[in-house]
A = this chain, B = another copy of it.
């Protein structure tokens, strides 16, 4: 895990070299380089390795996925969205660079990330690169994180309690807002590792259950953590009437649902003996014990 993170950070730093006009590259780099677990790019490399591929071929895609993730954080934090002043314990992008540059830095990352994939992916067929790019756009846009974010805003604005089926809406939000990026990471790693059908099928199942587990965990953590332990404002979900696993089912049932997804994730991925995937699952389980 540590080696993967170092590899990713080294390459992110290299890809995000400051060019003209520096304001935009600095704003892009600021949020991408905030210390983080790099879970999505690590998953991409590990999926490539387990599929039998050379992780070097997946590095540009792994970094691109981290850039896309940073983009979603920059725009989520904007005053017109979640209006968060902090991210990973530091002032959020628009607090440092101003709102206009934060909007533009996010925009720039959406297209810089696939540019990095095209310019730096070696020893992989054009067909595989196009497949990866296609997955990237699906996850990045109106069939992925944007769809999830829009549904999330709607649930908040119109009071989800009046919805006919808030459960369906919650699943839609989390499938798109969170699981979509894990799916992108794991599937693109598999494609770049030239995976067979069996592995591809397993890794997609794992993406689905891990992605849902991760979001339920995040909802629980927002409820039980403090600012200091998390580095961002907490307890906002309930206050703002957000539709989450905790607000819809209560804390205990949310924990049960998390454990259920964790069990499913373990069942699927267990046979591959991946220390990285096992330890990522363990962390979710341990995190809610305290």
Contacts and interface: CB of A to CB of B under 8 A. Distances in A.
Nearest to A114: B137
A174 B148 CA distance: 36
A19 B150 CA distance: 13
Interface in A128-170: 129-130, 133-134, 136-138, 140-143, 146-147, 149-151, 153-154
Contact of A111 (B21, B101, B141): B141
Given A134-B118, A147-B24, A112 B142 contact: yes
Copies of this chain, whole number: 2
Contact of A150 (B24, B80, B106, B146): B24
A23 interface: yes
Interface of A: 19-21, 23-25, 28, 71, 75, 78, 80-81, 98-101, 103-104, 106-108, 110-112, 114-115, 118-119, 126-127, 129-130, 133-134, 136-138, 140-143, 146-147, 149-151, 153-154, 172
Nearest to A173: B21
Contacts of A71: 107
A99 B150 CA distance: 12
